[in-house]
Structure 1
Amino acid sequence: MASILIIEDELSIAELERDYLEIAGYEVTVASTGAQAMEFVSNKNYDLYIIDIMLPDMDGIDICRNIRRTTDRPIMMISAKDSEGDKIRSFNVGADDYMTKPFSPSEMVARVKVKIERYSALKLRQTVDYDTLQYKNIRLDLDHRRVYVDDTEKELTVMEYSLLAFLLEHKGVVYSKEELYNIVWKGDATEDSTTTVAVHIKKLREKIEKNPSKPTIIETIWGVGYRIGEA
Structure 2
Amino acid sequence: MIEKIADLHTGEDSAKHTIYEFHQPADFSQLQIDWIQHQVRSRGRVLELTYSEYRLLCLLVKQLGKVFTHAQIYREVYEEEESGDTENIIYCLMRGLRKKLEKDSRYPEFIQTVRGVGYKFIGKVEIVGLAD
Partner of 1:173: 66
SS in structure 2 of the partner of residue 144 of structure 1: coil
For residues 114-141 of structure 1, give each alpha carbon's deviation from its aligned partner in whole angstroms, at most 9, with x where no partner exists. Answer: xxxxxxxxxxxxxxxxxxxxxx611111
Alignment of 1:27-42 (within 5 A): none
Q: Count residues with an aligned counterpart.
A: 95
Partner of 1:141: 34
More strand by share: 2
1:218 aligns with 2:116: no
Matching residue's letter, 1:214: Y
Instruction: Output the CA distance in 1 between the equivalents of 2:119 and 2:84.
Output: 17
For residues 149-202 of structure 1, give each alpha carbon's deviation from its aligned partner in whole angstroms, at most 9, with x where no partner exists. Answer: 022111000010011011011111001101111122111123433222111110
SS in structure 2 of the partner of residue 183 of structure 1: helix
Instruction: Output the CA distance in 1 between the equivalents of 2:80 and 2:106.
Output: 29
Instruction: Output the CA distance in 2 between the equivalents of 1:152 and 1:161.
Output: 15
SS in structure 2 of the partner of residue 187 of structure 1: coil
More helix by share: 1
Return the offset for 1:217: 0.9
5+ residue gaps, structure 1, are 1-135
Aligned sequence identity (%): 28
Higher Rg: 2
Alignment of 1:33-52 (within 5 A): none
When normalised by structure 1's length, the TM-score is 0.39
Q: 1:194 aligns with which of 79, 87, 92?
A: 87
Partner of 1:229: 122
SS in structure 2 of the partner of residue 148 of structure 1: strand
5+ residue gaps, structure 2, are 1-28, 124-132
SS in structure 2 of the partner of residue 226 of structure 1: strand
RMSD of aligned alpha carbons = 1.6
When normalised by structure 2's length, the TM-score is 0.67
Instruction: Output the CA distance in 2 between the equivalents of 1:185 and 1:153.
Output: 24
SS in structure 1 of the partner of residue 32 of structure 2: strand
Matching residue's letter, 2:43: D
Partner of 2:77: 184
